[in-house]
Amino acid sequence: MSKSFRNQARYGVLGAALVASVLVPGTTASAVVSPDISVTNAKAHLDQLQTIATNNGGNRYTGRTGYRASADWVKSKLDAAGYTTTLQSFSTSAGTSYNVIAEWPQGDANHVVMTGSHLDSVSSGPGINDNGSGSAGVLETALAYAASGQIPRNRLRFGFWGAEELGLVGSKYYVNNLPAAERDKIELYLNFDMLASPNPGYFVYDDNPAGNGARDDLVSYFTSKSVQTEYIDVQGRSDHAAFRSLGIPTAGTFSGAEGIKTSAQATKWGGTANAAFDACYHRSCDNINNLNLTSLDRQIDAIGHMIWNYAQKDYGTTIPPTGPNLLQNPGFEAGAVNWTGTAGVITNSTSKPAHAGTYKAWLGGKGVTATANLGQSVTIPASATAASLALWITIDTAETTTSTVYDTVKVQIVDGTTTTTLATYSNLNKSTAYSLKTLNVLAYKGKTVTVRFLENEDSSLQTSFVIDDVAVTAA
Ligand code: PHE
Ligand code: ZN
Ligand code: ZN
Ligand code: CA
């Protein structure tokens, strides 16, 4: 027998004190949710944008290598998280530019909630507050949503615009090239441009004269965090204007640019009166030191609040699945808590990357005859008209056959004494990247059942089935 035994390091999980960085919406049912978007991660994205500028002549300006590198980097992060992405090119007076568009593959495509920020800088500097801050915040929120295991009711789309500094060229190009039917599907556009001004204000805007609920929601969110806001008429100075011109509701936040903070504003927000909100606005000193991280932290949590809530907003959508995640500890970050089955399966071993966080369920990988399982009980509401089980899985194997199933993991529902296999993945489904699987569990409405993963390996040549971010949702 040529199949070789391979040892694998396993780490105990009981007593692990990790806390997921993002609040799991399922814990608060349909209540308003406010995830904590990681400012540490957002700052790391800003470090990356600074590095890109530094390596490309000090800027990320349209038509220069630093812009293309920024776009490629953002796109790669979103691709890795499971987004469907597009690099949309267009021409400008300063050369070719690009929009990066990313869409989450679930949710009703007839109801789109879109969030955007411009990714380009001016030519004089790296553009870290303007608008690395908005780009990093929107990117981190998109990544956190992908990792949350939630399934949105609506379709979430993100836009990273090129050539805003040349006059909203990228966002105008995007909307002008959307077929009318596609424009009509966009329910809301949220814009984030300058979120971490060093002498920050907390401005909210929308340019729809009649106003819309989104701006009010931003105000209420900040108020709930004891941050006072001011309405500002930004006179179409950022990318929301392109959407607004089509009659799409818009809203956004802004921490201030060349404007001067009054003493009344310094009283309510702190900072320096009679000084610019961002004295480095459009200058070479808008670099990694030109940031107020408290402002960034508050602003990105506001983005998270809006996206989590508008993802679930009822725009008359009928398609499933919707609703919060009914599973507890769905990303395994609390270790074995809420799961039962074979000891040691839930692990933070560094030899297998998690889909999000550090923990995941690693079934198999022994290379000897073995079985393992993992399960959690869940009640699917009797009123459900749709229910799904979603999971992320990556599979690697030492098997070389392209036709014979040796090692398997079954995704099962245990309903009393009846076990039903919804899907089987095997050594033939090898995939180095995580892929999302969605299975229908509506048949179990009104029942308390166990979601179970049952893995079996034959006597040699390991196959590892690594599962993370499991979600059961019902509507
Ligand atoms: N869009 C402006 C720029 O990039 C900054 C700005 C953002 C101004 C929001 C007003 C409101 O230079
Ligand atoms: Zn600018
Ligand atoms: Zn800007
Ligand atoms: Ca995880």
Q: Would you call 142 helix, strand, or coil by DSSP? A: helix
Structure tokens at 335: 């270790």
62-71, 102-111, 454-463: segment of lowest average pLDDT: 102-111
User: For residue 136, which of 230, 217, 38, 234 has the smallest C-alpha distance?
Assistant: 38
What residues form DSSP beta bridges with 122? Answer: none
**Residue closest by Cα to atom 1 of ligand 1:** 238
CA dist., res. 322 & res. 319, Å (int): 8
pLDDT average, residue stretch 80-97: 96
**Which of the four pLDDT bands, split at 50, 70 and 90, describes residue 317?**
low
Q: Is the peptide bond preceding residue 321 cis, with omega within 30 degrees of 0?
A: yes
Element (H, E) at 304: helix 293-311
pLDDT average, residue stretch 45-57: 98
Convert the pLDDT of each residue in 163-221 to its tens digit.
Answer: 999 999 999 999 999 999 999 999 999 999 999 999 999 999 986 656 568 999 999 99
CA dist., res. 207 & res. 331, Å (int): 39
Domain boundaries, the chain: 39-310, 340-474
Element (H, E) at 455: strand 448-457
Q: Longest C-alpha distance within the chain, in Å?
A: 80
Q: What share of the chain is helix, strand, coil (3-state, %, to 5)?
A: 25, 30, 45
- 474 in contact with ligand 1, CB cutoff 6 A: no
Burial of 41 (0-12, 13-18, 19+ CB in 10 A): middle
Q: Would you call 256 helix, strand, or coil by DSSP? A: coil
**Residue closest by Cα to atom 11 of ligand 1:** 234
pLDDT average, residue stretch 278-286: 98
Mean confidence (pLDDT) of the chain: 89
Structure tokens at 427: 């050594």
Torsion of CA 20, 22, 24, 30, to 10 degrees: 160
Q: Between helices 39-54 and 293-311, what is the axis angle to 10°?
A: 110
Pocket test for ligand 1, best of 128, 172, 189, 234 (most atoms within 8 A of CB): 234
Structure tokens at 48: 């990356």
Cα-to-centroid distance, 165 and ligand 2 (Å): 5
b/e 139-152 (16+ beta carbons within 10 angstroms → b): bbbbbbbbbbbbbb
Does residue 82 have a pLDDT over 50?
yes
**Which of the four pLDDT bands, split at 50, 70 and 90, describes residue 106?**
confident
| Superfamily designation of domain 39-310 | Zn peptidases (3.40.630.10)
Neighbouring CB atoms inside 10 A of 30's CB total 9
Do 357 and 147 contact (CB within 8 A), yes or no? yes
CA dist., res. 407 & res. 400, Å (int): 12
Convert the pLDDT of each residue in 9-47 to its tens digit.
Answer: 222 222 222 222 233 333 223 346 688 999 999 999 999
21-25, 137-141, 181-185, 413-417: segment of lowest average pLDDT: 21-25
pLDDT, position 14? 23
More confident residue, 464 or 386: 464
Closest atom of ligand 1 to CA, residue 165: 4
CA dist., res. 439 & res. 459, Å (int): 30
User: For residue 116, which of 177, 166, 74, 65 has the smallest C-alpha distance?
Assistant: 74
- 37 in contact with ligand 1, CB cutoff 6 A: no
**Which of the four pLDDT bands, split at 50, 70 and 90, describes residue 109?**
confident
What residues form DSSP beta bridges with 158? Answer: 102, 115
Does residue 322 have a pLDDT over 60?
no
- 238 in contact with ligand 1, CB cutoff 6 A: yes
pLDDT, position 5? 29
pLDDT, position 386? 72
Report if pTM > 0.85: no
Q: Between helices 39-54 and 65-80, what is the axis angle to 10°?
A: 150
User: For residue 114, which of 71, 81, 158, 149 has the smallest C-alpha distance?
Assistant: 158
| Superfamily designation of domain 340-474 | Galactose-binding domain-like (2.60.120.260)
User: For residue 53, which of 108, 124, 111 has the smallest C-alpha distance?
Assistant: 124
Does residue 279 have a pLDDT over 70?
yes
pLDDT average, residue stretch 76-98: 96
Q: Between helices 134-147 and 39-54, what is the axis angle to 10°?
A: 130
* 164 assigned to active site: yes
Distances (CA, A) of 246 to 185, 189, 249: 12, 11, 9
Structure tokens at 334: 């609390």
**Which of the four pLDDT bands, split at 50, 70 and 90, describes residue 313?**
confident
Cα-to-centroid distance, 433 and ligand 4 (Å): 15
DSSP one-letter string for 94-111: TEEEEEEEEE-S-SEEEE
**Where does residue 61 fall: left (phi above 0), alpha (psi -120 to 50 degrees), or beta otherwise?**
beta
- 186 in contact with ligand 1, CB cutoff 6 A: no
